[in-house]
Amino acid sequence: MDKIEEIETRRKAAHAKLLALKSKVYERFLQMEEAAYSDGALSKKHKELIAIGVSVVINCESCMEWHITQAAAAGASMREVLEAVEVGIELGGGPATVSARFALEVMEHVFKE
C-alpha cells in the first residue's frame, strides 16, 4: 500500500471509529465541514481549491489527500489544483515547496497522470 492509500485507509478507519463511539465533537465537526464546503457565494469546488492551498502551507498530508480528491470530485481540473498548490507555495515560501511535493504525488494518484 502506498502512502496516499495508507492515509485514505487510516482516515476512513478513524472516521468509522469516531462514528461508532458516537463522538459529539466529531459529529459537530462533520456538520461544520458540511456547512463550510456547501455551495454559497463560492462553489464547493472553489472552497476545496482554497483548502488545498492552506493544506500545502500547513503541511497537512492527510488534508492534501482529502481536499485534492474532493476538488477533483467537485469538477476541478488538474491545472486548477496545480494553481491552488502554487498559491500555497507562494504563501508558505520555501517550506511550502516541500509540502507541495506530496500534493504533486496525490495529484498524480487522483488524476492518473
pLDDT for 94:
84
- Taking only the tens place, the pLDDT of each residue in 35-63 is 999 999 999 999 999 999 999 999 999 99
> For 9-13, which contacts have Cβ atoms below 8 Å and span 24 or more sequence positions?
10/62, 11/62, 11/65, 11/66
Which range (8-17, 58-67, 68-77, 94-103) has the least confidence? Answer: 94-103
Contact between 110 and 69 under an 8 Å Cβ cutoff? The reply is yes
pLDDT for 28:
98
Give the side-chain half-sphere CA count within 13 A for 75.
5
CATH number of 3-111: 1.20.1290.10
pLDDT for 55:
96
Provide the pLDDT confidence category of residue 1 given band limits of 50, 70 and 90.
Answer: low
Helices (H), the chain: 3-20, 24-37, 44-58, 61-73, 78-92, 94-111
Q: Is the pLDDT of residue 113 over 80?
A: no
Provide the pLDDT confidence category of residue 95 given band limits of 50, 70 and 90.
Answer: confident
Residue 66 C-alpha cell reads as 482529502
- Strand, coil or helix: 26: helix
CB within 8 A of 68, min separation 6: which ones? 52, 81, 103, 106, 107, 110
